[in-house]
Chains A and B, each alone.
Chain A
């Protein structure tokens, strides 16, 4: 052994073995990475960069700064002005910018940008821009005579913030904060729509996860204890919904649950309901929950099944032989062994439920909408930066859950079918 420690091991061509191994390993690493590289570049270009671009949009809106250059320059020179009493030169810059907006037809863009933080300003800007050309100095009095709202301190605060194209204001709006005369503050309770919808989305997703777990547990157990030949037949009943188009399943639920639908017809026919007292189970939150539970149930059954299948029955038998009742055996021996499956299924279903769009959009009606639908609503209204800010907040929540999933279960253990 002493000799081995002193003589350096070498390869046949005389290089030290350690160095040769390091080179070979580095080459193997490089080769493995080169195989992944094309896909990584593809995903970077077509997925990561668009999402990064969306995050940038959530901090960016040049609707006002681009159309009001004079006032933006004035704000840059006078950072400490008093929003409650802006000086005459600020009004002069504003009036000339308003005249410019009227000429360039950019009033709508500027008004929209300010409108995010001070609602009702689009019409104010339109009226101001129409009048601006004919206004005479002193501009302050002239503009206030057109509309006294031009003197609002929060309007001046909003314009100052909007004079830079980069802003965090969309996150303030998306977290239900309101711009008041003294700066940003908590909004009135009845206006707290966004955080409420986030809360509602998480609550509904939690409820769906729980229902899925309750429904999946017995089925997964049955599949796990049946002999393989029978369970693969029953497995088809789980996998078929998994493979069926989401729109087909949503359509089916509309046919089943609507007011003149099959479930209601059946209940009326059985005499459980009177004809003019039919269940309102579609186009509201009930419809969303039922249809989403159906869609997400296989995602709970499959991970539970793969864990339950490998639980040896001998532990439960041992517990029974030691005198435990069947309930105690189930609670203290069986359920703890299924926890990895419960965690995997629940996290997956919750993650998928939080971001759901199609089912709530089609069967949710007014009451069953989730946060994704609100993002889509703002996209349709061209409120791009606000939609991006809401999407970024949703993304942050999802990434936390995804990180948790990777920590607890490991992404490489994700299985399909």
Chain B
């Protein structure tokens, strides 16, 4: 990127203008995310920097909005903070409940999407796979079809997807469904919806990893007497694991960030963090949202770091050295 020695003055000016433009665009990309972090430590109920904050007056900063995350919905928010209080916060705090729901829904949706998606990606990356193009198009479509359409379709369908109260189906699946025995307003419904949304990410990352995978390794394993199960776990899996994990992380983040499907198909019980934030932004906007946002930014930094490390490991394993 260094400027050649023969560059004319005009080219020099343009070069530095170009760098300045790029810096501004990077600022546009990253600035809004960074600005949330100091704002969340405000002592006032405003969504903006106060005079005290700008003068670095300690009185302008506080942890009260982080505290709100613990106390909102707590039966005794001002009580002494003993073990009992913390246990109650863990059981009753609105935000902690939302975090738990988000975590469990995300975990199960990720497991469902990753297991099914990885197996399918193995089939899709075989050269013999019939109709690959159309099947890929179908499996990727949840990422392309607007979420509102998926949510509308699911909300119609889930309201009808019920089991009779006294049937054998209800005895098996009833505990996962809503009190009326339907997919609507149930955890299972939300998990399935999020798994569908996560599948394209698993398919894309795993097939991308498989494209650098040497298929003759499978034949070599077979020729040495390994059965398909051993071949998968001992030969294929270790090589494509970075792809599987980053696909799983994408699926988890998709679920962890998803609000529209939850708004349409979930009941009041399935309160997740994004839903709580969405309602918070719509109704009473308080800096508690910024505190949650800061925590989420930290989580996404950690996830991004994990994915980057995995990608580099995968490139090293496949012998692709960075330029």
Interface residues of A (CB under 8 A from B): 25, 28-29, 31-36, 38-40, 42-43, 46-54, 57, 215, 218-219, 222, 225-229, 232, 234, 236-241, 243-256, 258, 260-262, 265, 294, 297-298, 326, 351, 354-358, 361-362, 372, 375-376, 379, 384, 387-388, 391, 394-395, 398, 402, 405-406, 411-412, 414-417
Contact = CB atoms under 8 A, between A and B. Distances in A.
B182 interface: no
Nearest to B228: A31
B148 A375 contact: yes
B120 A35 contact: yes
B129 A32 contact: yes
B9 interface: no
B274 A247 contact: yes
A336 B77 CA distance: 63
Given A57-B156, A247-B257, A265-B48, A355 B146 contact: yes
B5 to A, nearest CB: 14
A384 B289 CA distance: 32
B35 A256 contact: yes
B30 A241 contact: yes
Contact of A355 (B149, B157, B199): B149
B36 A237 contact: no
A259 to B, nearest CB: 10
Nearest to B39: A255
11 contacts: A36-B135, A38-B116, A53-B153, A215-B25, A215-B28, A246-B274, A265-B49, A355-B149, A384-B156, A414-B140, A416-B204
Nearest to A260: B48
Given A35-B119, A258-B47, A362-B278, A251 B149 contact: no
Contacts of A351: 144
B36 A251 contact: yes
A391 B300 contact: no
B22 interface: yes
* Residue of B14, B124, B140, B153 most packed against chain A (CB within 10 A): B153
A402 B293 CA distance: 33
B199 A43 contact: yes
Contact of A50 (B19, B157, B207, B297): B157
Interface stretch (B66-74, B93-101, B168-176, B302-310): B302-310
Nearest to A240: B304
A305 B117 CA distance: 27
A54 B48 contact: no
B114 to A, nearest CB: 11
A49 B138 CA distance: 12
B157 A32 contact: no
**Main DSSP-derived SS at the B contact region:** helix
Nearest to A410: B133
A33 B149 contact: no
* Residue of B32, B47, B281 most packed against chain A (CB within 10 A): B32
B136 interface: yes
B301 interface: yes
A417 B307 contact: yes
B152 interface: yes
Contacts of A294: 28-29, 32
Contacts of A245: 256-257, 274, 277, 293, 296, 300
A300 to B, nearest CB: 11
B252 to A, nearest CB: 11
The size bracket of the interface on B is 35 or more
Contact of B29 (A227, A255, A297): A297
B77 to A, nearest CB: 24
B126 to A, nearest CB: 4
Contacts of B199: 39, 43
* Residue of A48, A260, A411 most packed against chain B (CB within 10 A): A411
Given A225-B1, A240-B304, A394-B149, A250 B281 contact: yes
B311 interface: yes
A260 B304 contact: no
Given A50-B154, A387-B152, 7 more contacts: A31-B126, A35-B119, A54-B153, A247-B274, A261-B47, A355-B146, A417-B246
B278 A218 contact: no
B46 A254 contact: no
B271 to A, nearest CB: 14
* Residue of A247, A294, A384 most packed against chain B (CB within 10 A): A247
A388 B30 CA distance: 38
Contacts of A252: 32-33, 35-36, 293
B201 A236 contact: no
A410 to B, nearest CB: 8
B28 to A, nearest CB: 7
A391 B150 CA distance: 9
A61 B141 CA distance: 28
Interface in B249-291: 250, 253, 256-257, 259-260, 264, 274, 277-278, 281-282, 285, 289-290
A248 B296 contact: yes
A206 to B, nearest CB: 16
B142 interface: yes
B26 A234 contact: yes
Interface string B152-167: 1111111010000000
A229 to B, nearest CB: 8
A336 B237 CA distance: 40
B117 A262 contact: no
A395 B290 CA distance: 35
Contacts of A326: 11, 14
B139 interface: yes
A163 B246 CA distance: 54
A347 to B, nearest CB: 10
B281 A260 contact: no
B128 A28 contact: yes
B124 A355 contact: no
A405 B142 CA distance: 15
Given A42-B116, A49-B157, A416-B201, A255 B35 contact: yes
A33 B116 contact: no
Contacts of B311: 417
Nearest to B140: A411
A33 B303 CA distance: 33
